[in-house]
């Protein structure tokens, strides 16, 4: 019995090695371009300070509305997702500035972005891995507030194609400035 099991295990090992394949050498999203070290250091310092401040709001249901901006910058830094550094570093700085503004509002027990009309970027906590995830809303002024939360838009329906370089750092500004989404007439 044991010798049969050994033979099967050896054959399985040999077969697995014989038919092993090399993964396709590609990266999605593709690697970005180098960011000047001083800009990268400043972004990391600012990000760490905002992360520490955001930790004070753990459990707050509005915290993902802040964390999406922090995560976007953090992932861009960690995985080198700056494709046009001269434009993308300011984009990351704006994301951190928005996170700062929302944190300041939360400290004052306010959340004005919940009352905004037009294109609004919000966040939610994923039930799969607990990470903050961004989404875009288009809230027409004519819609009463309780109805607004059901108008989550699909970023792929904004009239813009989404390719392999569309990271969170790129999605968030595009969701905040996307062309109008066609909403059903009954909602208007």
The mean per-residue pLDDT over the stretch 159-182 comes to 63
pTM for this structure?
0.73
Q: Where are the domains of the chain?
A: 29-187
Across the range 110-116, mean pLDDT stands at 88
Q: Is the pLDDT of residue 58 over 90?
A: yes
H or E element at residue 67 = helix 64-79
CA-CA distance, 85 to 77, in Å (whole number)?
Answer: 11
Lowest mean pLDDT among 36-50, 55-69, 73-87, 140-154: 140-154
- Residue 123 pairs in a beta bridge with 134
| pLDDT above 80 for 144 | no
């Amino acid at each position: 019995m044991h010798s049969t099991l050994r033979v099967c295990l050896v054959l399985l090992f040999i077969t697995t090695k014989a038919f092993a394949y090399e993964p396709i050498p590609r990266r999605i999203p593709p690697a970005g371009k180098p960011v000047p070290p001083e800009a990268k250091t400043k972004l990391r310092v600012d990000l760490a300070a905002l992360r520490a401040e955001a930790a004070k709001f753990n459990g707050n249901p509005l915290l993902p509305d802040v964390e999406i901006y922090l995560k976007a910058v953090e992932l861009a830094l960690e995985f080198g997702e700056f494709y046009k550094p001269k434009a993308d570093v300011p984009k990351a700085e704006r994301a951190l500035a928005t996170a700062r503004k929302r944190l300041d509002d939360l400290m004052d027990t306010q959340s004005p972005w919940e009352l905004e009309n037009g294109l609004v970027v919000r966040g939610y906590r994923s039930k799969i891995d607990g990470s903050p995830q961004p989404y875009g809303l288009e809230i027409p002024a004519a819609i009463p507030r309780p109805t607004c939360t059901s108008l989550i838009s699909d970023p792929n329906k904004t009239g813009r194609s989404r390719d392999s370089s569309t990271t969170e750092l790129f999605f968030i500004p595009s969701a905040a400035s996307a062309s109008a989404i066609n909403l059903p007439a009954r909602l208007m």
